[in-house]
């Protein structure tokens, strides 16, 4: 077993995997890595299962020291990572010798970095997943939904993995996010539909793992009041103020606001790397096209 001791952390540094499925009828949310693409690449670098437990580091402020020889991998945002005083870029596996420190300082490109270990970090499964959802007190290193804290230890038991570097580790552009058209799309005004897909939106500072609010020309819903219904990942709800909210992994399980549609999985990963103030545009897409796009992307993990 290899271990890392956490010397610095923030409430935004969490243990995550692909998420908790099959439990939303119980009111339990999904959780899981916001940027599933970077999580998968971090695991791919070590020949792990793509959904093995990783550390999601948001905006930096995270430092670990190796208590043993450690083989690790890093993907996602450039958060100014250093091994002792040597800078290390994301998109590679690397060795941390006993006593060395890995620290993340501040965001230079993107918002979230993912740290992986051979076989995934050790954590007890809760309802089939170790994904940390602080609000529900589920998942994480101890199973009770706590963020990673100073003094805690991360361990892993895997020994495999090869030294790899991603050929193209740059984060994809989030300038355009694909939206699968939703059931209430026809009940927004024609001008609102034009504005939704032809004007820029700014990412509000009111953003967390539950959802991200977009600021722009208010959208006007003209349909009847809705009964609360299940909310898929990436749903774009429009509350009465007309400013859309993209619902993310820690969202509530039901809601009653009208929806433009839902972001595609790839667009969700791009959005997860956006900082407040970022500008973006929404692009409509039908479900068959989104499905084909997703399958093409998944093929990259077999032939990167």
- Any idea where the domains of the chain sit in the sequence? 2-156, 176-301
pLDDT at residue 132 is higher than 90? yes
CATH class, range 176-301: mainly beta
User: What pLDDT does residue 149 have?
Assistant: 96
Per-residue model confidence as pLDDT tens digits over 48-73: 999 999 999 999 999 999 999 999 99
Per-residue model confidence as pLDDT tens digits over 200-219: 999 999 899 999 999 999 99
| For residues 79-100, average pLDDT | 96
| For residues 133-146, average pLDDT | 96
pLDDT at residue 89 is higher than 90? yes
| For residues 16-34, average pLDDT | 95
Cβ atoms < 10 Å from Cβ of 225? 7
pLDDT at residue 232 is higher than 90? yes
**Alpha carbon of 167 to those of 115, 164, 173, 203, 273: distances in Å?**
18, 9, 17, 30, 20
| For residues 281-295, average pLDDT | 93
Q: Positive or negative, the Cα torsion across 276, 278, 284, 290? A: negative
| For residues 114-138, average pLDDT | 96
Nearest Cα to Cα of residue 45 among 121, 118, 122, 111: 118
Confidence at 304, pLDDT banded by 50, 70, 90? low
Confidence at 185, pLDDT banded by 50, 70, 90? very high
Quick one: what percent of the chain has pLDDT higher than 90? 88
Instruction: Please give the residue that has the higher pLDDT: either 93 or 173.
Output: 93
Under 8 Å between Cβ of 277 and 255: no
User: What pLDDT does residue 162 have?
Assistant: 72
User: What pLDDT does residue 61 have?
Assistant: 97
Under 8 Å between Cβ of 140 and 132: yes
User: What pLDDT does residue 166 have?
Assistant: 87
Confidence at 253, pLDDT banded by 50, 70, 90? very high
Least confident of 173-182, 244-253, 264-273, 285-294: 173-182
Least confident of 114-128, 233-247, 257-271, 287-301: 287-301
Confidence at 302, pLDDT banded by 50, 70, 90? confident
User: What pLDDT does residue 164 have?
Assistant: 87
| For residues 5-20, average pLDDT | 98
Nearest Cα to Cα of residue 36 among 11, 61, 56, 18: 18
pLDDT at residue 303 is higher than 70? no
User: Which is it for strands 86-87 and 81-83: parallel, antiparallel or unpaired?
Assistant: antiparallel
């Amino acid at each position: 077993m290899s271990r890392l001791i956490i010397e610095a952390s923030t409430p935004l540094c969490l243990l995550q995997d692909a998420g908790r499925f099959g439990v939303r009828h119980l009111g339990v949310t999904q959780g899981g890595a916001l940027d599933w693409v970077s999580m998968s690449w971090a695991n791919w670098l070590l020949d792990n299962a793509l959904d093995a437990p990783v550390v999601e580091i948001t905006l930096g402020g995270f430092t670990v020291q190796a208590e043993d020889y450690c083989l690790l991998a890093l993907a996602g945002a450039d958060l100014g990572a250093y091994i002792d005083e040597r800078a290390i870029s994301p998109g590679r596996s690397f060795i941390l010798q006993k006593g060395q420190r890995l620290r993340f300082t501040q965001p230079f490109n993107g918002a979230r970095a993912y740290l992986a270990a051979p076989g995934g970090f050790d954590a007890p499964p809760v309802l089939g997943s170790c994904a940390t959802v602080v609000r529900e007190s589920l998942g994480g290193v101890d199973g009770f939904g706590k963020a990673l804290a100073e003094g805690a230890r991360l361990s892993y038991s895997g020994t495999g993995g090869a030294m790899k570097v991603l050929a193209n580790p740059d984060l994809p552009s989030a300038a355009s996010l694909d939206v699968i058209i939703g059931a209430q799309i026809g009940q927004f005004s024609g001008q609102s539909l034009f504005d939704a897909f032809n004007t820029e939106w700014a990412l509000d500072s009111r953003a967390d793992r539950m959802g991200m609010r977009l600021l722009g020309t208010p959208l006007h819903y003209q349909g009847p009041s809705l009964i609360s219904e299940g909310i898929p990942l990436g749903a774009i709800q429009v509350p009465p103020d007309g400013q859309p909210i993209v619902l993310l992994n820690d969202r509530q399980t039901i809601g009653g606001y009208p929806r433009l549609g839902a972001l595609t999985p790839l667009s969700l990963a791009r959005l997860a790397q956006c900082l407040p103030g970022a500008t973006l545009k929404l692009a409509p897409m039908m479900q068959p096209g989104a499905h084909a796009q997703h399958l093409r992307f998944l093929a990259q993990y077999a032939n990167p």
